[in-house]
Structure 1
Amino acid sequence: MKKVTSMLIGLGFTISSSVSYAQNSPKPIEAFSLNEVRLTRGAFLHAQQKDLDYILSLNADRLLAPYRKEAGLPVKAPAYGNWESSGLDGHIGGHYLSALALMYASTDDKRLKEKLDYCIAELALCQQQNKNGYVGGIPNGKIFWERIGKGDIDGSGFGLNNTWVPLYNIHKLFAGLRDAYLIGGNQKAKEVLIHLTDWFCNLIAPLNDTQIQQMLKTEHGGMNEVLADVYVITQQNKYLDVAERMSHQAILAPLVSHEDKLTGLHANTQIPKVIGFERIAELKNRQDWHSASEYFWQNVTQKRSVAFGGNSYREHFNATNDFKPMLESNQGPETCNSYNMLKLTKALFLHEPKSSYIDFYERTLYNHILSSQHPEHGGLVYFTPIRPQHYRVYSDAQKGFWCCVGSGIENHGKYAELIYAHDDRNIWVNLFMPSQLDWKERGIRFIQKTDFPNQESTVIQLSLKQTQKFKLFLRKPFWLNSEKLLVKVNNQSQYLTVDAQGYVSLEKTWKNGDKIQLALPMQTRLEQLPDGSNWYAFAHGPIILAAATDSLDLKGLVADDSRMGHEAMGKLYPINQAPVLVGSQNAVIASLKPLKNQPLAYKIENPNLFFTQKTSLILKPFYQLHDARYMMYWPLMNANEVSQHQEKLKAEEQADIILRQKTVDWISLGEQQPEADHAFDGKQTRVGGSIGNFWRSTTAWMSYKLNNPDLKSKAIEITILKDSKAHAFEVWLNDTLTQKVETSTENGKSQVFTIDLGENILMQKSIQIKIVATGENGSGAIQSIRLVK
């Protein structure tokens, strides 16, 4: 058994263990800790520095204000706004601890360590004030947790006892404390973490398994994972037992059976659960749980992810055979999803070092994570739409506090986490980044020199204190069209055969000054959407290429502090007016003209492009494309199909265009962000349905706030799904009973009720709508509430 300290170093982060899944499974390898690897140049180093500036610009006392408030201590500075003051108070504070620890390990910047130590001391003070081990920023947290401890659990969708994802929120603190200890080296963080964990374990101890699973229906982050990590830190089995109890069986069971039940589920709610399944599989020797995690990874990466590595639209998993809704939506893949998918990918790779894991990791790192930060002001992205000619929105460091800001400040501080990996004596080279590795225990230094992807090769220079023998594993990426790799060792060429794991190995007695050169020839190709439709993205090696079309009407490009500021709300260009690639794949690729002195930049020219606005467009790496509308996915067809294609898309969009034109505000009931954006509250409510067809019902009441900023609204439309029962409810607007509604029992998909706004309501910029059930069958399944002109 390895020492616990050794197991923790792997978190550099990833906790490794001597426990294997089966007797014949390969021995887990370890990632190097972040303080052993340094970026030396290039786009990732630039992004790291921008993130460092972002982190340092944040006011620790403002982030800590929710914790001091809930502990009954005077706040030292007012809390930040946006999500930090609208129900998810304190969640960024947890991410901030992780970000400080990660960036400190990556840079050794002492300012970060000072801030980290200060935050931990403040949290310890809050914990001491609470007297029971609890510390948190959740509004009215003491009352909330008291209800949970008594088994009073009303969980539906994202709300638990009418509190916005409280378990998700506190998970960020658990993870931040863990990272502060393991990565940041703060011993006090360990004490706070263990006291907090004891409090949580004691809180849920009286609950039976049914109550626990009811609680887990709401988004809860990776609580099972972090509890398992506390077990590794303490070696106390009780924490691992609680970690297993906190694993959501409704998600786990189908995955164990390799059943795909993911369509329509909130994507980022599920991914952290699976990270926890994999952690517990490692520690409890559960091959079935590991197989479940692997199946999930295969399903999401191969069937649900688009070319840049992201997945989901409107935060939910779409159907694997229909990506059309994602193509149409301005809410494309969420950055948090990729943040967590990379965590899962890393865990699976460290169990079995297969190049296919790193292929996905590399794709997502370059094209989603790197592109999610603005290279100048450092703002962070929530949604990355693939809708033709739409755009992304960036955060303002002092105004935007979305979930993707929290994960974002972590993302760009840990780029070096998986460039290299090792076992007791051998080294894996996974990514081609300019970097330096110092394995001090072995007296080995690697200096990787490259300008990849602008350069199609990399060079590794060895600096050794003494001659020693080990294997060097070099990854063969999927985009390299060869069964062998061309490798030069001290300028001597050799073609090496790729093994079953997708690596070539060099074993020799290495000496100081040895040099390894790896050829990485890349080609441009078209990648089709996973559903097989005729939409394609350009890729060159691992790099996704996209084209800017214009920079008009980029509404909210840098978001304000509004609740929905993270969404690109500017004009939606009709999809039938998007550029079309004309011809065969080979013809389109052959038509690309490289631009001089602009690496990875190409011009698409007629006759292989049909675009009414311009005669040509410029492709370049997506991670370099900012502040513009863009094309990432393109329809591909022959010249005779173009007119028919455009007319078909125009007809399909017409009804939607008319609906959008008359809409002032809109709530899709049962979906997490739309409901949170509109201040959902309620009692005795239920949710159901699937993406595009969600609903919420109540047997008591539920309420929302609608936005009428320009005072143009005239009515509210309520869409309710029909069923075999009659339903009745009252509609109250701004505390005034406005209309009574009764539904029929006729067969049909839905029924729309239009409620005219009274004179007083017409002049209100904020309209509260309250649905009060009056019949014995409740309100029925309400699908949407729309404020219309």
Structure 2
Amino acid sequence: MKRIVVFFLMMMGIAMAKGQDVLTLRKVVGVAEVNVTVAEGSAPQLPFQVWVTYDDGTAEWRTVRWMNALADVEREEADAKQTPRGTRYDVPGYVVGDNATSGGFPIVAHVEVTAPGSAAGHVVVAEPLPLNKVQLIGENRLTKNRDMDIDHLLSLDVRQQLYNYHDTYGLPTDGYPVADGWDSPTTKLKGHGSGHYMSALAMAYASCSDEAKRQQLLDRIRTMVDELRACQERTFVWSDSLGRYFEARDLAPEEELRQLGGKWSDFDRYKKDFRHYGYGYLNAIPAQHCALIEMYRAYNNEEWVWAPYYTVHKQLAGLIDIANFVADKEISAKALQIAKDMGLWVWNRLHYRTYVKKDGTAEERRQKPGNRYEMWNMYIAGEVGGMAEALARLSEMASDAAEKTHLLEAATYFNSPAFFDPLAQNVDAIRTRHANQHIPMVTGSLRINRANASIQSPDISSDYYYNVAQNFWSMVQGRYRYAMGGVGNGEMFRQPYTQMLSMATNNDPTLNETCCAYNLAKLTKDLNCYNPDDARLMDYYERVLYNQLVGSINQQEYAVLYQYAVGLNASKPWGNETPQSTCCGGTGAENHVKYQEAAYFANDETVWVALYLPTRAQWDAKGVTLVQECEWPAEKSTIRVAEGKGRFSMKLRVPYWATKDFDIRLNGKSLASEYQPCSYVEIPLRKWSKKDVVEVVMPYKRHLDFAPDKMEIDQRRTAYEPRWAAAVMEGPLVMAATGISTWEEATLKPGQNLAALNWVPDYNADRHITHYFRIDAPVEQNGNADTSVLKSLMQMAKNRMNAQQAWNELVVKVPEHAPWAEHGYKRMAEQYEVAQQVLKDEAEGKVGTELARRVDQTSAALNAALNTMRPGNLAEPEDLQPLTVLMEKLRGKDFRSMSQEERQAMRYAQMVTRYVNDGSGTMDMIKRAVSQLEPLVE
């Protein structure tokens, strides 16, 4: 932001007076003007929140919705030919939650395009104090969750995690329980859970203060490492004909690769030839699974693949975490060696057998196997998890120069140009993508930036990898996140600024995948290393940690969440009891043994107190131990130097939600008379001793977190009068209400007594909870219809119709599926025709309140149609009809009297139904479920 000028406006704001516990209205009298400079070749990064001042003298941050989110507009802004240096233009936007207009309170960002800056790059400023140097202390929700997680990990049979490896490498499986969940012998994601298990063990070891339990954790870690190395060594096979060891590049030469099968019968054959997986291959499934993606084989567990490199990443990450956190040098060294050997297998395979071709049609790009542009742009099949991050970390840990180079080069092989290139220009490439497929890729991009890997790619600027991450994070904050910090619906990103529409039209009020929260927290932590003074980062980290992550473990017995409960009358769908049960079972096993990993950041002279958690932190570089004493969640915290003496400065975060009563005192003296929310306050460089006491006073106050769009339609397509919607917050905590089952009950009116509702912090909530409420405040109608939103929606619809038509005209269908699924496309086309008629009426001179109402209603209907469309590779609820008929025929039968085959088929059918309704099921899943049920019904 170039500069900020405060100007005065009259605007209605909504807030809650906690003392009176009623919903009240306030007028905004000041809003910060937004002036932004942007380098030529990029779209501007506009603030996702602005500072507003109310007529009662209070002020707060409010969310902004910018009107340049249409893909065509962003591409034009990022095109140096269309928007060259020297250009000045305005981007309109709205402060959401305000009723000055139907879109909110109008504001403008003034943008100036400048010459590209020097290629200095971005560097790390501070690092988090390591996980094993920070301990949670006291008795509180955090330590209870941690201990429950540790005890559960110790209850699991380590031998079950090794079953697939024995099976894949020709070793006896006697005495090894068969793996289950998504690591079962009939799922091609097997190995992912074992990787998460290793990470969770390592993090639990780092976080556990009970020495007996630490020893038990270490015993399990040692077993995993020893057995995995024994499996890996079975690939160290010398070839006399090649004059070297058999390597990854030798597996499935091109002619063989083109014919390589992906059925289970094929994999039964592959695992008999483990000697030719290639030197260093370590995975719970034969190496052909990784090779198949080079032929662009689709996500299909029965016929082809299920995210081959995703599972590789989980296992690499587990081994790296062991190497970093386990004190036993023999174990940590062996874990690192296993990871390096597998990382070099990846380099060998991708270096010799793959390439990047960006130009041409999809058909042309796929003429030759191994085009990474296409491989990593495929739905789920191309999901690679954090491969780039893991390989970049391995490069940092390697001592051999050649290994360092190869591992870092391998990390860059997981660049996804179709996704990264637009993001590097701040063009939103997030919309409609699989959420958790892409978040870890961005974290990998940031890790590559640490090594300035662009020197290996002359066509990539030094800022490329950093910009991918920073731009992505900023877009998520403004356009996609929910109040609890989560993102996604049915595993997918939807359209920007459509959180309420996406939530309200979902078939089930569980929509934010917990893996996404896990990975966004990781990305935020890593970005904070570059910008530790930017409090927006740790404000978000606090939001997602205190709400979704802490709230994703059951307090009664160990169970975690896949999709998080968000919405009307939602209940948390507990399950995922093991790391291998699902992807979120895996991240769930890690989440609760690493709450403290971003509590403190430090460099040579400064420590940043980023989170107010009850902790004991060793800062080895300064020889001091800090103790932070507080409850959790905390409205007051005390920080002391418990051991040692040192000279350093300390920076403490002032959260975005801080009130006028927020205060920081050093030895009883306040540091300032007032504090700016969303900032850091510094205690300058000084010598610290045990006598020094820092007190942070941070009383919570109730406020609203507005969604960027209105609640105007529900899952039954029932239309509501458009109203802003918001989550009720107490400081950083989302407050959920129980006993609400309809949107009428979830509508708050100005002057309403909020004490009449039963509120509970979301992290502590469970059944039948509501998070968002319609705010029944009137729009200040001026009688004129604002068609700007409708026109932008129509342009989006037109672009989709053009893409669908272009695919229909292809003789050879590449990709194999249409851009958009049939039923949603039809609904969108119908609403587009209605919108055309409304604009025609406006062009003919019709004006007034009635036309304004029609414009709003038509915009809502078209927006709903657009946002509920699915990519052509995904099934729609209408496609479930043949499966539903079969399920109904069996449903009358007592489940207890069903045969084992019938129960398994019915469970699978129920799972497929959930997946399809949530928006992530595919047609092959429906076909498989139908094929299992048909013989039983007959």
TM-score, with structure 1 as normaliser: 0.71
Q: Percent identity?
A: 25
The residue aligned with 1:726 is none
The correspondence for 1:46, drawn from 141, 144, 152, is: 144
The correspondence for 1:178, drawn from 320, 337, 341, is: 320
Tell me the distance in 2 between the aligned counterparts of 1:348 and 1:712.
52
The correspondence for 2:348, drawn from 202, 215, 223, is: 202
Contact map agreement 2:193 2:580 (CA 8 A) in 1: no
Distance 1:66 1:442, change over 3 A: same
2:448 partner amino acid: I
The correspondence for 1:251, drawn from 415, 419, 429, is: 419
Q: How much does 1:87 deviate?
A: 2.6
Q: How much does 1:262 deviate?
A: 1.6
Q: How much does 1:391 deviate?
A: 1.3
Q: What do residues 337-386 of structure 1 show as CA deviations (whole Å, max 9, x unaligned)?
A: 01000111011101110111000000000100001111221200011132
Q: Where do 5+ consecutive residues of structure 1 fail to align?
A: 1-20, 551-572, 593-602, 606-616, 642-682, 715-733, 735-760, 770-786
The correspondence for 1:191, drawn from 317, 328, 337, is: 337
The residue aligned with 2:375 is 215
Q: How much does 1:208 deviate?
A: 2.2
The residue aligned with 2:801 is none
1:40 partner amino acid: I
The residue aligned with 1:144 is 289
Find the residue that maps to 2:889 and give its secondary structure. Answer: coil
Contact map agreement 2:299 2:306 (CA 8 A) in 1: no
2:638 partner amino acid: V
Q: How much does 1:170 deviate?
A: 1.3
1:479 partner amino acid: W
Tell me the distance in 1 between the aligned counterparts of 2:129 and 2:882.
49
Q: How much does 1:146 deviate?
A: 5.1
Distance 1:355 1:112, change over 3 A: same
Tell me the distance in 2 between the aligned counterparts of 1:311 and 1:72.
42
Q: How much does 1:295 deviate?
A: 0.8
Find the residue that maps to 1:369 and give its secondary structure. Answer: helix
1:696 matched to 2:835? The reply is no
Contact map agreement 1:80 1:399 (CA 8 A) in 2: no
Q: How much does 1:687 deviate?
A: 6.0
Find the residue that maps to 1:364 and give its secondary structure. Answer: helix
What does 1:769-784 correspond to in 2, within 5 Å? Answer: none
The residue aligned with 1:582 is 748
Tell me the distance in 2 between the aligned counterparts of 1:499 and 1:636.
28
Find the residue that maps to 2:171 and give its secondary structure. Answer: coil
The residue aligned with 2:40 is none
Q: How much does 1:711 deviate?
A: 2.2
Contact map agreement 1:704 1:768 (CA 8 A) in 2: no
Q: Where do 5+ consecutive residues of structure 2 fail to align?
A: 1-117, 237-277, 358-370, 455-461, 712-723, 781-813, 822-867, 893-904, 906-927
The residue aligned with 1:766 is 933
The residue aligned with 2:488 is 312
The residue aligned with 1:106 is 207
Q: How much does 1:26 deviate?
A: 6.5
Moved more, 540-549 or 229-238: 229-238
1:546 matched to 2:736? The reply is yes
Please report the RMSD computed on the Cα atoms of aligned residues, expressed in angstroms: 3.4
The residue aligned with 2:227 is 122
Moved more, 362-371 or 313-322: 313-322
Distance 1:388 1:127, change over 3 A: same
Tell me the distance in 2 between the aligned counterparts of 1:430 and 1:635.
33
Q: What do residues 14-40 of structure 1 show as CA deviations (whole Å, max 9, x unaligned)?
A: xxxxxxx96585652011111211101
- How many positions carry a matched residue from both structures? 605
Distance 1:214 1:396, change over 3 A: closer
Distance 1:198 1:636, change over 3 A: same
The residue aligned with 1:93 is 194
1:442 matched to 2:582? The reply is no
Tell me the distance in 1 between the aligned counterparts of 2:749 and 2:505.
24
Distance 1:125 1:24, change over 3 A: closer
Tell me the distance in 2 between the aligned counterparts of 1:621 and 1:713.
38
The correspondence for 1:636, drawn from 747, 754, 775, is: 775
Tell me the distance in 2 between the aligned counterparts of 1:337 and 1:173.
19
The residue aligned with 2:397 is 233
Moved more, 242-251 or 437-446: 437-446
1:209 partner amino acid: V
Contact map agreement 1:373 1:380 (CA 8 A) in 2: yes
The residue aligned with 2:94 is none
Distance 1:399 1:196, change over 3 A: closer
Tell me the distance in 2 between the aligned counterparts of 1:527 and 1:472.
30
Q: How much does 1:288 deviate?
A: 2.6
Q: What do residues 605-642 of structure 1 show as CA deviations (whole Å, max 9, x unaligned)?
A: 2xxxxxxxxxxx3101011112x11111112215999x
2:639 partner amino acid: I
Q: What do residues 301-336 of structure 1 show as CA deviations (whole Å, max 9, x unaligned)?
A: 221001000001011111123231222322411000
Q: How much does 1:479 deviate?
A: 0.3
Distance 1:579 1:24, change over 3 A: same
Distance 1:504 1:190, change over 3 A: same
Find the residue that maps to 1:475 and give its secondary structure. Answer: strand
Tell me the distance in 2 between the aligned counterparts of 1:633 and 1:277.
34
Tell me the distance in 2 between the aligned counterparts of 1:160 and 1:272.
26
1:333 matched to 2:512? The reply is yes
The residue aligned with 2:446 is 278
Tell me the distance in 2 between the aligned counterparts of 1:100 and 1:113.
8
The residue aligned with 1:62 is 160
The residue aligned with 2:476 is 300
Contact map agreement 2:123 2:450 (CA 8 A) in 1: no
Find the residue that maps to 1:113 and give its secondary structure. Answer: helix
Tell me the distance in 2 between the aligned counterparts of 1:22 and 1:461.
42
Contact map agreement 2:439 2:519 (CA 8 A) in 1: yes
The residue aligned with 1:427 is 607
2:339 partner amino acid: L
Structure showing the higher helix proportion among its residues = 2
Tell me the distance in 2 between the aligned counterparts of 1:251 and 1:327.
28
The residue aligned with 2:670 is 493
2:183 partner amino acid: E
The correspondence for 2:726, drawn from 517, 536, 547, is: 536
Tell me the distance in 1 between the aligned counterparts of 2:430 and 2:437.
11
Contact map agreement 1:48 1:413 (CA 8 A) in 2: yes
Q: How much does 1:528 deviate?
A: 1.4
The residue aligned with 1:521 is 699
TM-score, with structure 2 as normaliser: 0.60
Distance 1:320 1:25, change over 3 A: closer
Contact map agreement 2:571 2:768 (CA 8 A) in 1: yes
Moved more, 91-100 or 274-283: 274-283
Find the residue that maps to 1:264 and give its secondary structure. Answer: coil
